[in-house]
Amino acid sequence: MPIPELMAGWQRFRTGRFEQQRELMERIAREGQRPNVLMIACCDSRVDPAIVFDCDPGSLFVVRNVANLVPPCEGAGSYHGTSAGVEFAVSVLGVQHVVVLGHSRCGGIASLLAGPPATEEPMRFVAQWLEIAQEARTAALTPPGLDAIERANLCERLAIRLSLRNLETFPAVRSRIERGQLHLHGWHYDLHGGMLTVLDAATQRFVPVEG
């Protein structure tokens, strides 16, 4: 998208939606944000949570990273962008829900399964980041008879479950879950048809949402 198109888009937003929702915009600017959902989504340009879930500004706190992964809670000494987002959303904003939103045709998960794409410079960060989901990769490569898309789909879902487990390694998350103040959700968005499936906690299977 050329930069002038972005500027034209901002003009439309400024004179359109911003004006239509001026009261909301002024209130969230004045009073601060109070989202009750943290959504951890992929960087993928096709999966913008605010668009997919038709949300107003101020309602979703979003952390996006390659393949929507949550690392386990680890000590300081490195740069933990996603963990910082989780900490801020849970401990400061007091969100009541955390959603890990995966999606079909995820390039990050494809790289996890097949290795990173060839690049001019050696990839330094993506492969290491994807190591978080190594367990999901191994499990997705195990069942025989899946085609590439089915295997990727399985890996995307296994990675969501793994990220939910990793979320529970954060003491602030665990204590709030135990007190009933925080609820975790694993969702998977299908780019084809825009369908959504959600992880059923009892069966650990993804079930379609009617809509």
DSSP state of 181: S
Check: CB of residue 63 under 8 Å from CB of residue 95. no
Strand partners, 71: none
Please answer whether residues 98 and 168 qualify as being in contact, where contact means their C-beta atoms are separated by less than 8 angstroms: no
In the list 35, 40, 44, 187, the residue contacting Zn ion (rule: CB under 5 A) is 44
Q: Specify the residue, 129 or 182, whose C-beta has the smaller distance to Zn ion.
A: 129
- Residues 154 and 205: their CA atoms lie apart, in Å, by 11
Cβ proximity to Zn ion, 44 vs 86, nearer residue:
44
- Nearest approach in angstroms of CB 107 to Zn ion is 6
User: Nearer to Zn ion by C-beta: 85 or 108?
Assistant: 108
Least distance (Å) between residue 70 CB and Zn ion: 14
Could you tell me whether strands 195-200 and 60-65 are parallel, antiparallel, or unpaired per DSSP bridges? unpaired
- The burial of 172, by beta-carbon neighbours within 10 Å (0-12 exposed, 13-18 middle, 19 or more buried), is given as middle
Q: Is 42 in the site for Zn ion (CB under 5 A)?
A: yes
Q: Give 42 or 182: the residue with its C-beta nearer to Zn ion.
A: 42
Please choose, out of 36-44, 86-94, 128-136, 142-150, the segment that lies near Zn ion by the rule CB under 5 A. 36-44
44 vs 164, beta carbon nearer Zn ion: 44
Stretch of 43-51, 83-91, 151-159, 164-172 lying at the interface with Zn ion (CB under 5 A): 43-51
What are the C-alpha distances in Å from 90 to residues 43, 55, 114, 174?
A: 21, 20, 34, 10
> Of these, 95, 106, 132, 199, which contacts Zn ion (CB under 5 A)?
106
Minimum separation from the CB atom of position 68 to Zn ion (A): 6
The set of long-range contacts for 175-184, using a CB threshold of 8 Å and a minimum separation of 24, is 176/90, 181/94, 181/96, 182/90, 182/95, 182/96, 182/97, 182/98, 183/96, 183/97, 183/98, 184/97, 184/98, 184/100
Is the Cβ of residue 41 or residue 199 nearer to Zn ion in the bound state?
41
Q: Looking only at residues 71 through 100 of this chain, which bind Zn ion when binding is defined by CB under 5 A? A: none
Q: Among 24-32, 73-81, 103-111, 146-154, which window interacts with Zn ion (CB under 5 A)?
A: 103-111
Interface positions with Zn ion (CB under 5 A) = 42, 44, 106, 108
